[in-house]
């Protein structure tokens, strides 16, 4: 670990991201736009806080009784002919899907957007079983062609310039295209349409299951979700075991808040609620519908009081858009499937012995903006502090930083030492603030400040301490109240 408790790998990825002008501008612009969209939706809604209360309560209710809620779901879904499978971990989830593919003699699986499939690395498992896995969500397809990971939960390709997308399509099709969005989207549409009809399997995620009706729901702004879940004869929906609400009324709470929190939309273009395979009198739909309920670390999280509430997450991405770290470096700097504040919390929980994921708790300013934005009020900042404490207990902290913090803690406990230390820090701060030659020289020779100053100009500290300024204000107030 280096300064800030982050490994060199993380710092290199962040440094790489900061060096890419397009990525920085695109991520900032997109997260700003999504945040503005959400703010507008909040203003329009009027009752937004009441909706948040309702959704927070219904998600926590479902999590608190998860085993019973899942039992009801299995019972109701099975009654409609849905086949529900349970997978303890990623390997088991992949094995179930591969086995279904083998049983159907499948050669091609058309996939809708699913972060869970990224998490369990389903594409790799299908490819190993000689089943082609084709992403049909436009952003996911671009990512697949580029051999990358999504960099945002809902906008996987936010980091990629249009010219790069054009080049990918040109290599794929062996043709020449322009950079126009219409042309690029048209190319993707033409190429993907034919594949839906050829696909033996349709694989999607599940935004939320409804126990009362035994249904699974998908929110989407592209028509591919409907085609993937309708055209192939066999449809498999992958569902994290926590992605369930008890009743239709709870689902309405979700419908109000998921699109508004994610993109600022009142509702997504498509909401598909799947109740089972095609019935005899129906023209469309799969002949078989399988739901694979995946645990992969979630039971352990459920048993852990400190982090249980994170299971209420609806994967809207609002915390990513609000996070100053994410909106500066984008998703790939995190090096994990789930980036941003929610990723920094759940990734270490899903793989508790993975050092690389443990450090993510340090990639945060702890400003609390994620908590403010979260539609289900998950206290992400508290969880990040708790993960940091666990890291220190497990000896993962940076030694010099820990020593510095111990000294600071002692100094803060003694008022005159604290005041004296502040005076020294303000005096020293004046030498390193600004971007002149002298500050640059001092920073260059002060290793502990180098990383902090690499991307920003340090602000000049005030001449007088806050406590002195506060005392002045209090004295002025007193004089005012005396009528003098
Ligand atoms: S933690 Fe909250 S804001 Fe972040 S993705 Fe989950 S629900 Fe959305």
pLDDT tens digit sequence for 219-260: 999 989 999 999 999 999 999 999 999 999 999 999 999 999
pLDDT for the residue 459: 78
Tell me, yes or no, whether 336 lies in a domain.
yes
pLDDT for the residue 357: 84
The rounded distance, in Å, linking the Cα atoms of 350 and 89 is: 10
pLDDT confidence band for 453 (50 / 70 / 90): low
Decide whether any atom of ligand 1 lies within 6 Å of the 315 Cβ.
Answer: yes
Q: What average pLDDT score do residues 90-107 get?
A: 97
Q: Which of 348, 372, 397 is a domain's end point?
A: 397
Same-domain pairing of 338 and 292? no
Q: What average pLDDT score do residues 199-223 get?
A: 96
Same-domain pairing of 188 and 239? yes
Question: Which of 31, 254, 259, 261 for mutating ligand 1's site (highest number of atoms within 8 Å of CB)?
Answer: 261
Same-domain pairing of 264 and 163? yes
Same-domain pairing of 206 and 175? yes
Atom nearest to 345 CA in ligand 1? 1
Tell me, yes or no, whether 286 lies in a domain.
yes
**What is the CA(163)–ligand 1 centre distance, in A?**
31
Structure-block tokens of residue 30? 């997109």
C-beta separation of 120 from 94 below 8 A: yes
This prediction has a pTM of 0.88
Decide whether any atom of ligand 1 lies within 6 Å of the 378 Cβ.
Answer: yes
Indicate whether 296 pLDDT > 80.
yes
Same-domain pairing of 240 and 270? yes
- Domains identified in the chain, total number: 3
pLDDT confidence band for 2 (50 / 70 / 90): low
Indicate whether 399 pLDDT > 80.
no
Tell me, yes or no, whether 456 lies in a domain.
yes
* Highest-scoring range by mean pLDDT, 35-39, 42-46, 360-364: 35-39
Structure-block tokens of residue 82? 């849905």
pLDDT for the residue 249: 97
The rounded distance, in Å, linking the Cα atoms of 407 and 420 is: 14
Q: By mean pLDDT, which of 89-103, 322-336, 357-371, 432-446 is the weakest?
A: 432-446
Decide whether any atom of ligand 1 lies within 6 Å of the 313 Cβ.
Answer: yes
Q: Which of 397, 429, 448 is a domain's end point?
A: 397
pLDDT confidence band for 392 (50 / 70 / 90): confident
pLDDT confidence band for 452 (50 / 70 / 90): low
pLDDT confidence band for 26 (50 / 70 / 90): very high
For 432-455, give the secondary structure using H, E and C.
HCCCCHHHHHHHHCCHHHHHHHCC
Same-domain pairing of 197 and 55? yes
CATH code (residue 147): 3.40.50.10420
Structure-block tokens of residue 401? 């930083």
Closest residue by CA, ligand 1 atom 4: 319
On the 0-12 / 13-18 / 19+ scale of CB atoms within 10 A, 448 is exposed
Structure-block tokens of residue 7? 């490994």
Decide whether any atom of ligand 1 lies within 6 Å of the 11 Cβ.
Answer: no
Decide whether any atom of ligand 1 lies within 6 Å of the 342 Cβ.
Answer: yes
Tell me, yes or no, whether 273 lies in a domain.
yes
Atom nearest to 262 CA in ligand 1? 8
Burial 153-181 (b: 16+ CB within 10 A, else e): bbbbbbbbeeeebbebbeeeeeeeeeeee
C-beta separation of 187 from 173 below 8 A: yes
Structure-block tokens of residue 264? 């600022």
pLDDT for the residue 212: 98
Same-domain pairing of 181 and 207? yes
Indicate whether 287 pLDDT > 80.
yes
pLDDT for the residue 477: 86
Tell me, yes or no, whether 305 lies in a domain.
no
As a whole-number percent, the residues of the chain with pLDDT over 70 amount to 95
DSSP summary character for residue 334: G
pLDDT confidence band for 447 (50 / 70 / 90): low
Domain holding 9, by residue range, is 1-36+317-397
User: How far, CA to CA in Å, does 137 sit from each of 61, 111, 308?
Assistant: 32, 8, 31
Tell me, yes or no, whether 311 lies in a domain.
no
Same-domain pairing of 95 and 216? yes
Tell me, yes or no, whether 409 lies in a domain.
no
Q: What angle do CA 347, 352, 356 make, to 5 degrees?
A: 65
Decide whether any atom of ligand 1 lies within 6 Å of the 369 Cβ.
Answer: no
Alpha helices for 323-398 (secondary structure H): 326-329, 340-350, 355-358, 369-373, 380-393
Same-domain pairing of 328 and 450? no
Decide whether any atom of ligand 1 lies within 6 Å of the 34 Cβ.
Answer: no
Q: What average pLDDT score do residues 275-292 get?
A: 94
Same-domain pairing of 13 and 104? no
C-beta separation of 376 from 57 below 8 A: no
SS3 label, residue 85: strand
Structure-block tokens of residue 413? 């406990």
Same-domain pairing of 361 and 330? yes
pLDDT for the residue 483: 55
**What is the CA(431)–ligand 1 centre distance, in A?**
41
Instruction: Give the CA dihedral 84, 241, 156, 359, nearest 10 degrees.
Output: -150
Indicate whether 14 pLDDT > 90.
no
Q: What rounded mean pLDDT belongs to the chain?
A: 91
Q: By mean pLDDT, which of 225-239, 323-337, 429-443, 469-483 is the weakest?
A: 429-443
Indicate whether 455 pLDDT > 70.
no
Tell me, yes or no, whether 407 lies in a domain.
no
Same-domain pairing of 294 and 427? no
Question: Which of 240, 340, 342, 379 for mutating ligand 1's site (highest number of atoms within 8 Å of CB)?
Answer: 342
Decide whether any atom of ligand 1 lies within 6 Å of the 55 Cβ.
Answer: no
SS3 label, residue 218: strand
Atom nearest to 310 CA in ligand 1? 1
Q: Which of 238, 273, 299 is a domain's end point?
A: 299
Decide whether any atom of ligand 1 lies within 6 Å of the 262 Cβ.
Answer: no
pLDDT for the residue 449: 67
């Amino acid at each position: 670990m280096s300064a800030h408790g982050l490994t060199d790998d993380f710092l290199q990825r962040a440094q790489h991201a900061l060096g890419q002008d397009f990525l920085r501008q695109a991520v900032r612009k997109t997260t700003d736009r999504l945040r503005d969209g959400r703010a507008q939706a909040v203003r329009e809604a009027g009752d937004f806080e009441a909706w948040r209360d309702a959704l927070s309560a219904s998600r926590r209710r479902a999590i608190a009784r998860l085993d019973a809620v899942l039992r009801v779901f299995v019972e109701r879904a099975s009654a409609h002919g849905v086949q529900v499978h349970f997978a303890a971990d990623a390997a088991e989830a992949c094995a179930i899907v591969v086995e279904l593919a083998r049983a159907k003699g499948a050669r091609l699986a058309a996939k809708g957007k699913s972060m869970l499939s990224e998490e369990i690395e389903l594409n790799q498992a299908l490819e190993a079983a000689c089943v082609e896995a084709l992403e049909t969500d436009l952003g996911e397809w671009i990512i697949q062609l580029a051999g990358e990971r999504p960099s945002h939960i809902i906008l996987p390709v936010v980091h990629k310039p249009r010219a790069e997308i054009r080049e990918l399509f040109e290599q794929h099709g062996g043709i020449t295209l322009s950079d126009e969005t219409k042309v690029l989207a048209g190319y993707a549409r033409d190429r993907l349409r034919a594949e839906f009809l050829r696909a033996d399997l349709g694989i999607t995620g599940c935004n939320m299951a409804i126990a009362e009706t035994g249904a699974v729901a998908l929110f989407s702004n592209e028509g591919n979700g409907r085609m993937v879940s309708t055209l192939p004869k066999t449809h498999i929906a992958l569902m994290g075991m926590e992605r369930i609400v008890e009743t239709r009324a709870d689902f309405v709470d979700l419908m109000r808040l998921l699109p508004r929190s994610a993109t600022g939309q009142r509702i997504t273009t498509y909401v598909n609620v799947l109740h089972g395979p095609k019935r005899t009198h129906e023209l469309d739909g799969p002949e078989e519908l399988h739901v694979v309920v995946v645990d992969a670390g979630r039971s352990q999280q459920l048993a852990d009081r400190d982090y249980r509430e994170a299971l209420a997450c609806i994967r809207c991405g609002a915390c990513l858009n609000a996070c100053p770290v994410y909106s500066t470096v984008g998703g790939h700097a995190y090096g994990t499937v789930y980036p941003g504040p929610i990723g920094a919390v759940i990734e270490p929980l899903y793989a508790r012995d993975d050092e690389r994921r443990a450090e993510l708790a340090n990639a945060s300013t702890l400003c609390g903006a994620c908590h403010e934005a979260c539609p289900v009020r998950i206290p992400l900042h508290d969880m990040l502090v708790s993960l940091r404490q666990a890291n220190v207990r497990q000896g993962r902290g940076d030694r010099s930083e820990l020593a510095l913090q111990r000294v600071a803690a002692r100094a803060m406990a003694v008022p005159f030492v604290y005041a004296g230390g502040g005076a020294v820090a303000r005096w020293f701060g004046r030498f390193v603030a600004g971007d002149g030659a002298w500050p640059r020289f001092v920073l260059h020779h002060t290793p502990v400040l180098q990383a902090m100053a690499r991307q920003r100009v340090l602000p000049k500290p005030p001449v007088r301490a806050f406590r002195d300024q506060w005392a002045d204000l209090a004295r002025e107030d007193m004089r005012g109240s005396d009528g003098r």
